[in-house]
Chains A and B, each alone.
Chain A
Amino acid sequence: MDFIGETIDSIKSIKIRQLLTQAITLGLIVTSALMIWKALICITGSESPVVVVLSESMEPGFQRGDILFLQMTKEPIRAGEIVVFSIDGREIPIVHRAIKVHERGDTKEVDVLTKGDNNDIDDIGLYAEGQLWLNRQHIMGRAVGFLPYVGWVTIIMTEKPFIKYILIGALGLLVLTSKD
């Protein structure tokens, strides 16, 4: 109870100069987070350098809630690599393994077929209608490393939005009431 009382007291005692400092601090936190994200995009070359696994199609390698780090280099795609691809008409990108690769000699264009380790059949059924192969433009990156469980935070926050608002509210309050 003390904690709540103190919090209310400290909100009451806020002065205008202090308020401005805190607003700037808050701005710095937000902008540096944005800078880190954009820097990661530049370094990895992938539009979304970090993704959360949402499906069970790559179990037991990747489980729901694992975080994957992606990289998109100029190196050619090879069989066995775990690639992240998006299909026209599908919003959510898919993380699956390449099982067949055919690369042209002159143009270096590439035809790739993927399959989830935990699926019985390949991905032709997931592709757009009439599409038999993935090409370079469909592929957003390849998975290079991963962290278990951390992605659950985002899964919970997307599925239960009110937890997100409570968390943002609590953090905001903490920043506003801190006296440093």
Chain B
Amino acid sequence: MHTFGYRANALLTFAVTALAFICAIASFSDKFSNQNPSAEIQILNINRFQKKSHGNDEVSLTLDIAADLQSLFTWNTKQVFVFIAAEYETPKNALNQVSLWDAIIPTKEHAKFRIQTSNKYRFIDQGHNLRGKDFNLTLHWHVMPKTGKMFADKIVMSGYSLPDAYR
């Protein structure tokens, strides 16, 4: 009953169980954090707005992004992935989500930022429906924990629109 094998086995089982329990508690503790992130996005300029040769509209724009995501960070946060998506509706598609810019925020110190940037990913429609189009800019964030459940949320900002003519 008290061989080396048994003792090693018991120790290993207990260690793994304890570790799993701690991980579960760490993940659960994220639920009690108080989150109040804020964001503000402005379109500074429409750099280009064209119908491409394959018939799809493409826009290039410059954004001014200010956000404060510091409250998302807890002791179980490994990183926060943040991105801005243009979201709109067209006759063909009930939902279009086009990611324009994203970033990985590694620490709380970097979570309050303001940048001016042109879109990192190409803003191309499936079709040519972008002239005069009203759209939302949504700031999404995905919190990656050190261990456990990932969670995500967003701030939707509406009232943006594209010009009526190509330029």
A78 and B96 alpha carbons, distance in the complex (Å) = 10
* With contact pairs A3-B3, A80-B152, A145-B149 given, residues A61 and B95 touching in the complex (Cβ less than 8 Å): no
Q: Are A147 and B23 in contact (CB under 8 A)?
A: yes
Q: Are A102 and B96 in contact (CB under 8 A)?
A: yes
In the complex, residue of chain A having the shortest beta-carbon distance to the beta carbon of B120: A99
| The stretch of B34-42, B59-67, B108-116, B139-147 that contacts the partner chain | B139-147
Question: Count of chain B residues with Cβ under 8 Å from any Cβ of A?
Answer: 36
Is A146's CB within 8 Å of the partner chain B? yes
A79 and B3 alpha carbons, distance in the complex (Å) = 55
Q: Are B94 and A103 in contact (CB under 8 A)?
A: yes
Q: Are A100 and B121 in contact (CB under 8 A)?
A: yes
Binding site for A on B (CB under 8 A): 1, 3-5, 9, 23, 27, 78-79, 81, 83, 85, 89, 92-99, 102, 104, 106, 121, 126, 140, 142, 144-150, 152
Is A42's CB within 8 Å of the partner chain B? no
Q: Are A101 and B150 in contact (CB under 8 A)?
A: no
Binding site for B on A (CB under 8 A): 3, 6, 60-62, 78-82, 97, 99-105, 108, 111, 117, 122, 143-148, 174, 179
In the complex, residue of chain B having the shortest beta-carbon distance to the beta carbon of A76: B95
Chain B hits for A145, CB < 8 A: 27, 148-150
- From B78, B85, B121, B145, give the contact of A60 (CB < 8 A): B78
Q: Are B147 and A147 in contact (CB under 8 A)?
A: yes
Closest Cβ of chain B: how far from A176's Cβ, in Å? 12
Q: Are B104 and A148 in contact (CB under 8 A)?
A: no
